[in-house]
């Protein structure tokens, strides 16, 4: 849904957490984006597989956000607010697990 804003439920959850996503617009991942990125974090193993098939040059820098907690984060698109909240919790947990590792590199 290239060019579309974040889902209203996402905006609501983000606002509750003190985040402003009003300016967010969806983008399609491109080869150039992948080349410029040092690290690409995805929500599901299938996302990782798809990116590596589309852009073989990303191998070695694509990881699941839930890698260290050994979990995937299901896409809540067109689901209940509970699904969005569950996705947010997974994202928050994944970020918390990745952050110390990223800080060691910088």
Let me know if residue 1 belongs to a domain.
Answer: no
Counting DSSP H helices and E strands in the chain, the numbers are 4, 2
45: pLDDT strictly greater than 90: yes
pTM over 0.85: yes
Instruction: Dump pLDDT digits (tens) for 46-97.
Output: 999 999 999 999 999 999 999 999 999 999 988 988 999 999 999 999 999 9
Angle between helices 8-16 and 81-105 (to 10 degrees): 60
Q: How far apart are CA 67 and CA 77, in angstroms?
A: 22
pLDDT band, residue 22 (cuts 50/70/90) = very high
Let me know if residue 2 belongs to a domain.
Answer: no
Containing structural domain, residue 65: 8-105
24: pLDDT strictly greater than 80: yes
CATH number, domain of 78, equals 3.40.50.2300
């Amino acid at each position: 849904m290239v060019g579309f804003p974040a889902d209203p439920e996402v905006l609501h959850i983000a606002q509750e957490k003190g985040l402003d996503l009003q300016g967010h617009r969806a983008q399609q991942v491109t080869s150039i984006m992948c080349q410029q990125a040092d690290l690409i974090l995805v929500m599901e193993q299938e996302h990782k597989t798809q990116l590596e098939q589309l852009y073989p040059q990303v191998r070695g820098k694509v990881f699941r956000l839930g890698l260290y907690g050994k979990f995937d984060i299901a896409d809540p698109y067109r689901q209940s607010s509970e699904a969005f909240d569950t996705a947010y919790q997974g994202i928050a947990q994944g970020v918390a697990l990745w952050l110390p590792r990223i800080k060691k590199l910088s």
